[in-house]
């Protein structure tokens, strides 16, 4: 598949960096409302030394008073196709790094890069390129969304390039990723689907059920075979029915499943989000962006794989038929909406944006919460939940904006 032409959008200004901080210099943030795994602490502090959070502040630490602000863990996005005008599926290394940085400016300190449906040779080539960035620590792994999905629920994927999930072909992608494949989305009801789930589980790769036309019973079978994630629950799957409950009921009711939710106000009605939280709980919800190139960039014409997309008023749709084509969401907006519109507690929003995805990725010993010994990945928010600072591994990506 040829590399599609570049995005044609309007760049948006990035947050400024007004607070100089020496990389690696001990720092302590004081006076904050700090969200910890054990609860929220008022007038708390977070001490950082090098790349890690520490128990106590060093004597020579730079003290920054952030009274009136929240300090929360850095966001973790397990499903993201690009941003800043750049595509993780088709962009150059420079483009991909630009997309990663765009999301870091919005608080996402850990990101899994997602591809879209393409031919197998193209996808294996992309897997090799993305695996190098994973080895360098720029991304946490690779998520293959397609080509092993249902033509009935293809969403913004090219139907001509779809194929059944033959375990041998699934294995090709895993091998091409050189140990950096994190997740594969499958329509598990297709021929080879259940066997592919077992293969993924055996290799330590998350099998995600999505873009599926499965019945309730077929979904239960896939979960029993080892599937553990619902790709953007509710979207690209049959609706919940009282006689034919389909995949949604099976995915919500099973404690082995983590459900992805796109909280942008377009993909989900607030009542659907509340249903997911009430049934699954924050410990089983991972907020994602499913972002495409336009995230953090602007309206305009873009490409998602081989399909042309038009973004208008921040909503991405295929030019051909108006199908929603990913999102332009950033996780700082997802957080604010969760608290101010959906009525979630700050603690539950933090869990869904940090702790749950960290655990799902098997990285909760390093990221996902503000605890001594973990990476100094954090987000600073004001009282209105607006982003005012981002730190990643002890370095300010967005310096504290306290004026």
Catalytic residue annotation: 290
- CA-to-CA distance for 211 and 164, rounded, in angstroms? 12
Question: The tokens of 125 are what?
Answer: 């080539």
Alpha-carbon distances of 140 from 62, 143, 182, 362, rounded to whole Å: 30, 10, 8, 11
Q: Are strands 27-36 and 206-209 parallel, antiparallel or unpaired?
A: unpaired
Alpha-carbon distances of 362 from 26, 339, 351, 397, rounded to whole Å: 28, 27, 15, 24
Tell me the residue ranges of DSSP E strands in 187-248: 206-209, 229-230
- CA-to-CA distance for 108 and 98, rounded, in angstroms? 13
Strand arrangement of the beta sheet that strand 285-288 belongs to: 75-80, 108-115, 141-145, 181-186, 206-209, 229-230, 258-262, 285-288
Asked if 21 contacts 27 with a C-beta cutoff of 8 angstroms, the reply is: yes
Asked if 331 contacts 75 with a C-beta cutoff of 8 angstroms, the reply is: yes
Sequence-distant (6+) residues with CB within 8 A of 309 are 156, 292, 294, 301, 302, 303, 316, 317, 318, 319, 325, 326
- The dihedral of CA 257, 262, 266, 272: what is its sign? positive
- CA-to-CA distance for 200 and 194, rounded, in angstroms? 10
Q: Chain centroid to CA 9: how far?
A: 22
Classify 214 in phi/psi space as left (phi over 0), alpha (psi -120 to 50) or beta.
Answer: beta
Q: Chain centroid to CA 57: how far?
A: 32
Side-chain half-sphere exposure of 212, counting CA atoms within 13 A: 32
Task: Collapse the DSSP code of 157 into the 3-class scheme (helix H, G, I; strand E, B; otherwise coil) and give the result.
Answer: coil
């Amino acid at each position: 598949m040829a590399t599609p032409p570049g995005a044609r959008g309007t760049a948006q200004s990035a947050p400024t960096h007004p607070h100089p901080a020496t990389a690696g210099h001990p720092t302590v943030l004081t006076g904050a409302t700090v969200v910890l795994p054990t609860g929220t602490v008022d007038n708390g502090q977070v001490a950082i030394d090098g790349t890690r959070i520490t128990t106590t502040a060093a004597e020579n630490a730079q003290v920054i008073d952030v009274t009136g602000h929240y300090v929360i863990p850095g966001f973790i996005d397990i499903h993201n196709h690009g941003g800043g005008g750049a595509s993780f599926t088709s962009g150059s290394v420079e483009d991909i790094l630009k997309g990663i940085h765009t999301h870091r400016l919005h608080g996402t300190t850990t990101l899994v890069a997602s591809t879209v449906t393409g031919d197998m040779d193209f996808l294996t080539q992309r897997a090799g390129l993305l695996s190098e960035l994973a080895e360098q620590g720029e991304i946490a792994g690779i998520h293959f969304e397609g080509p092993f999905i249902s033509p009935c629920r293809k969403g913004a994927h090219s139907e001509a390039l779809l194929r059944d999930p033959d375990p041998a072909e699934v294995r090709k992608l895993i091998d091409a990723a050189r140990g950096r494949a994190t997740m594969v989305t499958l329509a598990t009801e297709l021929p080879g689907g259940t066997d592919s789930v077992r293969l993924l589980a055996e290799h330590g790769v998350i099998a995600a059920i999505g873009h599926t036309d499965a019945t309730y019973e077929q979904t239960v079978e896939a979960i029993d075979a080892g599937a553990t994630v619902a790709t953007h629950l509710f979207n690209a799957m049959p609706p919940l029915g009282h006689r034919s409950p389909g995949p949604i009921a099976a995915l919500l009711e099973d404690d082995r499943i983590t459900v992805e939710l796109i909280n942008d106000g377009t993909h989900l009605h607030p009542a659907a989000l509340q249903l997911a939280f009430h049934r699954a709980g924050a410990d089983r919800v991972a907020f994602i962006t499913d972002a495409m190139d336009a995230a953090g960039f602007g309206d305009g014409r873009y490409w998602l794989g081989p399909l042309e997309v038009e973004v208008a008023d921040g909503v991405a749709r295929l030019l051909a038929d108006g199908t929603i084509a990913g999102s332009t969401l950033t996780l700082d907006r997802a957080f604010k909406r969760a608290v101010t519109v959906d009525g979630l507690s700050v603690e539950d929003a933090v869990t869904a944006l940090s702790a749950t995805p960290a655990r799902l990725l098997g990285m909760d010993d390093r990221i996902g919460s503000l605890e001594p010994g973990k990476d100094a990945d954090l987000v600073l928010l004001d009282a209105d939940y607006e982003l005012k600072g981002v730190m990643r591994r002890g370095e300010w990506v967005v310096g504290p904006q306290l004026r």
